[in-house]
Structure 1
Amino acid sequence: MANRPKGHGREKIKIQEYTKELEKFKDTQRMLKFQGHPRNFLAILVGDHEPYEDNVNGKSFLPFSKKYLKTTVETMASEKQRCRISRVPDHIRGVNPALFAPAVFPIGPYHAHVGAGGAPERARRLKEQCLDEVVRLSGSKRGDFLAQMRSLVKRAREYYTEDIDMEDEAMAEMLLLDGSFVLASLHGTARLTRGSSTCGETESSDCANSFTCLEESDEENQVAVANTDVDSWHHFNVARDLFLVENQIPFFVVQKIYELLVKNHPRADRRAVSAVEAYVRDVMAVYAKGDGEAAALQPHHLLHLSHMYLRPIEQLSPWSDDGKCSVTTVGRLRRATQYRGLMVRFRKLDIGGKAAPRSILDLAFRGGALEIPRLEIDGDTWRQMANLVLLEQASPHVGLYVTAYCAFMSQLAGTADDVALLCESGIIEHHLGGDGDVVEGFRKLCDGIIFDANDDAYNYLRPVYQALEEHCRRRTPKLLRWLRAHANCPNPWMVLGVLTIITLLCFIVQQLHHATLRNPAT
């Protein structure tokens, strides 16, 4: 009979908790039998580090670290709700195809044979140079990496919603090439690089900066390199192409390549997300303040990682003085100019700082003021937003945060006058042809999406909708609301002022009339 692990009965609750997690996944026992005895898994979780001995087979199993096994359970849990890599629906692609197609660097099977002009061949050469550098730094052979990719092909296929028309060997080579390029281009190899880059003389201006030498390993230095030393052509196209919804590979491919890369570096961090997080944080700096939290999570691909930075602060529901909210359902928002007429003030917030919002999604309504983080809009904004919206539409379990934000802003900035008001308030700063282009951009982001503003599970801004409507219903003087509804004037305060002056003039005339009647001689 097998020996019971030491301390087997000490923490039954913890054992039961993780046993439930294990029961959710059919492949758990199969996976663990190659790495250790299943009972060792439970023993490690309760702090017992002695190996479990199976007397029947006469075999002892060495236990793993608690951290590794716990991470294994978390990884399997995340696999259950993976962000699958999907195609862009035709009716959405037709609005603006350029928002979703890579210009220079195709990644993954959907765009494996697609490119513009001479870009495919140039991109192929750069990818080969990145792979050569990864292999050189690892001290292993290319065949070792390729063997690992072959073992991941089946799992990788499951991440794509479409059938991949590629042979397993071709797909393994593609995963290795693209995974190495992603890792190198996002400075995942920077901390391991010493001396000068070995990418070559002629093409080094395009690729070598991906392996820029870092004597220091702090994240600030990596960000500085991404901003200054990286060739502008390479940096621009990497930041543009590697965060498209169709242009992705599963992140566990990058993780496996990184594990092989650092296996001979015992002091290196084993998590690939920690190696590339600084670069992604720099790309997302316009939209969110990176605080390192995303590095502790398990992204499914790069676009999913960028989405993690935008997770908004939880909103609180508005309550009236009697403890109940009179607004149960929310409809379409009023426009910004209409809210101004109803005494709603607009307040710009800057991302960063202790009390500042963490991302552009952290909207709030406080004290009669709608607080909105500043949004800088350029030609790249719509591309980033459109791909994040499609990620949420395909994987709603990640949260429809960006979808809710775009729906909110498209209604608030419904006309060029509304955009002008938001620009005047400092909330929007755009570099487009005109205010109408901003209106059109938000409108196109919401074309063809599925979104229910009354669904608490997906509309994180529902409390803001409710608070705005509550304010307009209960705290705005009825006279001002009547004037706003019936007077053809954008500012009811102006109408009220005119009425006040007319009333005073009438009062003065009346007083003069009474004075004349009392003293006819005068």
Structure 2
Amino acid sequence: MAGDDNVTVHVEWLARRLTQQQEDAAATEQHRVMLSTHRVSRVPDHVRIRNPDAYTPGLVTIGPLHAEDGLGRLRPGKRLKMAYLHSLISRGHPDPSSHLAVIQGYVRLVAAREREARAMYAAEDVEEISAEDFVQMLVLDGCFIIEHLVNVATGREEQTLHATPYGPAQLSVDIVLAENQIPFFVLVDLIGSTRLPEFDTTGYQPPVLLMKLVLYYLAGEKGSDRSDVLPPANGVCHILHLLHQVVTSARTTWQPPPRIQDSTMLKLARQAGRFPLSLPLQLMVPLLYPILPDECKWSARYGPESVPSASDVKGMLLRLEKTHGGGGGGVKSSDGAGIVSVLGPVPLAVKLDQHGVLRLAQLKIEFRTMPLLLNLMAFERYFCEMQAGDVLAYTWFMAKMVPSAEDAAELVAAEVLRGSAVGNESNADVVRFFRDVGAACEGSGQRELEKSYLRETLLLFEERTQHAKRVADVKRYYVTVPWRLITAFVTVITTVTSILQTLASFKQKPG
């Protein structure tokens, strides 16, 4: 002990404590460096400020970033976790006297990897949380998630959850928020030490069983054996990471369904019938386009960007169609079967084919759609630099396609957009939706688009539609405003007459 009249310091005790703290910090930082590409941290303020509710849990907090909310605003979620912990243990241990031993086993498992789990988060978000509180939080949150997944997979009614307004739907959002995640390996360890009699006969190893439960919950994967295409569990960071893989992988194996000959012939017949009506416009384009004001041309309206609006797509003599499942790559989900269902049977699938059909993934606009897209984009931009920005590119593409209510109406008519938030009276709301999600892409949207899987579609627009763009410009500027067409026609006739008169005068002069 050393000190003076006013201060007494326990030198040995303090030195040991500082030594232990610095050793723990060094070890944790080593883990943090290893896991830096998948760290769970807060969405940057400049992104969050545009739509803070899209990144904030509304029912249940998962992990440390919003743990304080669970003590007040989301207190019902805390009670729900406790009830689910009891019901999860009771599945394989009906005798309450054995529950203490089961919980002790959970605590030992998580405590053994506490340092590794802590390294998944930014230091400032977890440094004030004690080891005991951190382990308890992971056990409680992990068991809650597993019990909910099992309930959904087995069809067990969750009365308390369903009694909460929008409870199941809100929980499906909370579980995939970028700031509401716990390490996937914690879930694997917990499910591996939990007795689940309902799945005893499946023969699945804990990591496979967990991923199949998550996939069924997120994307309606009930009854389909996808063990051969599941990613390695040790390569999954958390549930949002797995969701991102589900969403982005669906389109990679998708192919458009085979064309039905009768339908094709009918469409060709309709196009042939419309051709005589469009012929005069086609013939007038070479005369009218040169006198079209520069500010009204495609390049002036869109600049270097090459994404047309939905109205312009139709003006370019292309057809809009929703993407149908086909080729074995679709996500098998039905309405309400999982949060991925809002992205349609084949999420992100966009393809311009050789027949002039632009196929777009069917998007259901509801209260879950915006947080789903925004959190997937946040994961791509800020939490996993090595991850392709497929969701960001798709969202930017769609935002550019819907700058006006007229464009929204075109996509609704083609059944590309659906849901309670679309319709004649709410097309302005659809425009605001795409404006908001598009704002989250500012600064990197065009760049990600040009290097993404959509680059091929952009090139096709450039290669195959130069004349169609001119037709669209002429039609928009002249045909929609009759007096402009009359003025242009008079101008063309006057110019041609002047040229003919000039030529005639030259011929009349003696040689």
Pick aligned residue for 1:94 from 36, 49, 61: 49
Partner secondary structure for residue 245 of structure 1: coil
Change beyond 3 A, Cα 1:482–1:385: closer
Tell whether 2:241 aligns with 1:304.
yes
More divergent stretch after superposition (361-370 vs 139-148): 139-148
Q: CA deviation at 1:338?
A: 1.6
- Residue of structure 2 in register with 1:340 after alignment: 314
Counting aligned pairs with the same residue, the percent is: 23
Aligned runs of 1:211-250 on 2, under 5 Å? 234-250=167-183
The partner residue of 1:447 within 439, 448, 451 is 439
Paired position in structure 1 for 2:78:
124
Q: Does 1:153 align with 2:86?
A: no
Distance between the aligned counterparts of 2:207 and 2:378, measured in 1? 25
State the 1:268 CA deviation: 4.3
SS of residue paired to 2:428: helix
- Tell me how far apart the structure 2 counterparts of residues 401 and 347 of structure 1 sit (CA, whole Å): 21
CA–CA separation in structure 1 for the residues paired with 2:327 and 2:387: 26
- Could you report, residue by residue, the CA deviation over 1:222-256 in whole angstroms, capped at 9, with x for unpaired residues? xxxxxxxx998552332121111101101111001
**Within 5 A, what are the aligned runs for 1:71-220?**
82-115=37-70, 119-120=74-75, 122-136=76-90, 137=92, 140-163=101-124, 164=126, 165-187=128-150, 205-206=159-160
1:42 corresponding residue in structure 2:
none
Secondary structure of 2:38 counterpart:
coil
CA contact (8 A) 2:392 2:448 kept: no
Question: Residue in 2 aligned with 1:8?
Answer: none
Provide Cα deviations, 1:176-196, integer angstroms capped at 9, x if missing partner.
Answer: 0000001111117977x9xx9
Q: Deviations over 1:309-362 (max 9, x none)?
A: 11153499xxxxxxxxxxxx9724121112211212112223467586862211
SS of equivalent residue, structure 2 residue 407: helix
Distance 1:290 1:342 in 2: 43
Pair 1:386-2:377 in alignment = no
Q: 1: CA distance between counterparts of 2:469 and 2:80?
A: 65
Partner of 2:191: 258
Flag structure 1 segments of 5+ consecutive residues without an equivalent.
1-75, 198-203, 210-229, 317-328, 504-522
Which residue identity lines up with residue 348 of structure 2 in the other structure?
L
1:145-186 Cα shifts (integer Å, max 9, x gaps) = 111111111111221135212011110010000000011111
**1:402 and 1:490, CA in 2 relative to 1: closer, same or farther beyond 3 A?**
farther
Report how many residues are paired: 374
Q: Distance in 2 between matches of 1:356 and 1:260?
A: 33
Select 1:411's aligned residue among 393, 396, 400: 400
Partner of residue 398 from structure 1, selected from 363, 378, 387: 387
Can you give the 5+ residue segments of structure 2 that lack an aligned partner in the other structure?
A: 1-30, 255-302, 332-344, 494-511
Q: Find the aligned partners of 2:440 and 2:322 in 1 and give their Cα distance.
A: 30
1:134 Cα deviation after fit: 3.5
Letter in 2 for 1:251: F
How far residue 105 of structure 1 moved from its aligned partner, in angstroms, is: 0.7
Q: Which residue of 2 aligns with 1:363?
A: 350
**Residue number in structure 2 paired with 1:420:** 409
Where does residue 263 of structure 2 map in the other structure? Answer: none
After superposition, the Cα gap between the structure-2 partners of 1:457 and 1:116, relative to the gap in structure 1 and judged at 3 Å, is: farther
TM value normalised by structure 2: 0.63
Give the structure, 1 or 2, with the largest relative contact order (CA under 8 Å, sep 6 or more).
Answer: 2
1:30 is matched with which residue?
A: none
Instruction: State the AA in 2 paired with 1:186.
Output: L
Aligned counterpart for 2:305 among listed residues 319, 331, 355:
331
Verify the 8 A CA contact 1:392 1:399 in the aligned structure 2: yes
Distance 1:235 1:185, change over 3 A: same
How far apart, in 2, do the equivalents of 1:315 and 1:355 lie? 5
- 1:446 CA drift (Å): 2.7
Structure 1 counterpart of 2:435, which letter?
Answer: R
Contact 1:131 1:180 (C-alpha < 8 Å) held by counterparts: yes
- Specify the SS of the correspondent of 1:465: helix
Q: Distance in 2 between matches of 1:483 and 1:333?
A: 18
RMSD: 4.0
Whether the 8 Å contact between 2:253 and 2:327 is mirrored in structure 1 is: no
C-alpha separation in 2, matches of 1:132 and 1:105:
17
- Aligned partner letter, 2:56: A
Report Cα offsets for 1:27-68 as digits up to 9, x if no partner: xxxxxxxxxxxxxxxxxxxxxxxxxxxxxxxxxxxxxxxxxx
CA distance in 1, matches of 2:227, 2:454: 25
Taking a change above 3 Å as real, the CA distance of residues 231 and 296 of structure 1, as seen in their structure-2 partners, is: farther
2:430 corresponds to: 438
For the residues of structure 2 that align with 1:135 and 1:236, how far apart are their CA atoms? 25
Inter-partner Cα distance in structure 1 for 2:72 and 2:307: 45
Partners of 1:86 and 1:162 within 8 A in 2 = no
Aligned-residue offset at 1:104: 1.5
Q: 277, 281, 284: which one pairs with 2:219? A: 284
Aligned partner of 2:468 in structure 1 is 476
CA spacing shift, 1:290–1:477, aligned 2, 3 Å? farther
Amino acid at match of 1:412: M
Q: Could you tell me whether the CA contact under 8 Å between 1:452 and 1:459 is conserved in 2? A: no
1:455/1:126 CA distance change after superposition, 3 Å: closer
Counterparts in 2 of 1:351 and 1:382: CA distance versus 1, 3 Å:
farther
What's the offset of the Cα at 1:462?
0.8
Q: How many Å separate the matches in 2 of 1:116 and 1:150?
A: 23
Q: Report which of the two has the higher share of helix.
A: 2
- Establish whether residue 487 from structure 1 lines up as the match of residue 478 from structure 2: yes
C-alpha contact (below 8 Å) 2:110/2:138 kept by paired residues: yes
